[in-house]
Structure 1
């Protein structure tokens, strides 16, 4: 059954301390407003138990492509005085649990689409965030202005793909301390196209042998309305249930 990866305070602390600049959760309570990830930020075990216990999990993992660039990120990556660890420290200040959270965009799309389903509260991260030079899986994000630019680099150096899948396993099993392979939902058909997915599928089973990957529209998909996300989610959940049967 897909309920083995509900997160505890200790697991939340691990994620916060290592990957708060990368990680997020698909959880938007009614009181959430704006683009900050305030609903995901707690400062004690008591506060965690009150607000997030049994609400966030890694039973499903929603995966974006790589860091997009905003003004704050651009300043950090352009600062040549910072080494990798220092960049991560600055990214944590700027992106505290907000990467992939999407604020009002995420709430409009993912929250409306998956509210009340097993996907609500799912762990969110990027797939491509580890440079080949990283020794301790810091996760500098590998930001680019356009995903299409980054796709070209991946095709030129496909070893980055397996390296980042290996890093994703470290992130989930060593840091988040999950107990079983999750269901993966990749965001963005245009980014995770057939060519990229064929390269991903070569390595993914080595690290997540019991997982399946599903593709869902990115929450900023142009021309998509709330109703479109809901319709797509209904079909996705039917496919997942069909694939996993009684274990779902």
Structure 2
């Protein structure tokens, strides 16, 4: 209890907590985009449940990993070398997760651009519930390890990490439904989100091979692309409104009827 009171009156701990909460929320965006895309392929009655299970698993994994911080720290130690480059368990997990993201995003883009006859039915589910939860579980593991390693690098206080993780997952839970509805209602946003997943997958692979990519560059590019898409959506909406207020074109009078009047 005294330890918690010491943390509560330490200004540097509050600064670290605020910074870590922001970092965890930003890192959770990747996880949330993937969950939204996957669950939108389920029947409507299963989507909300799948999203809650996916986000719940993300929270459980993060808290479980926080309980094994000593093991998580050792995941960054090299276990073998290839051509003089050491690879740790974290590197292998990031590479595997990046490859999975590339495969999944590419497959989704292919199905959207060139669907098979069986997939052309509007609103038809193309993924089973167990398969969706399995895919979410795999990416939850990858993003959870990355999230906890980031937290360990920013602070040494476990209570601060727990608060930051719980806050970030709560934000994910609140944002899941609106984000999923927004993605489902805007097909072009789906393609943009899949492009984000490809970029994130390449970043995970690069970091797995030791090439550090500053997260600021990644999220700045994502924010810029999202801003451009918002402008495109506003333009399309204004064009639809203009077309709706123009009214029907005047009907042409048949030539034969006009000649008969004369």
Q: Mark yes or no: TM-score above 0.5.
A: no
Q: Which has the higher contact order (CA 8 A, sep 6+)?
A: 2
- Identify, as 1 or 2, the structure richer in strand: 1
Q: Which of the two has higher C-alpha Rg?
A: 2
- Identify, as 1 or 2, the structure richer in helix: 2
TM-score under structure 1 length normalisation = 0.30
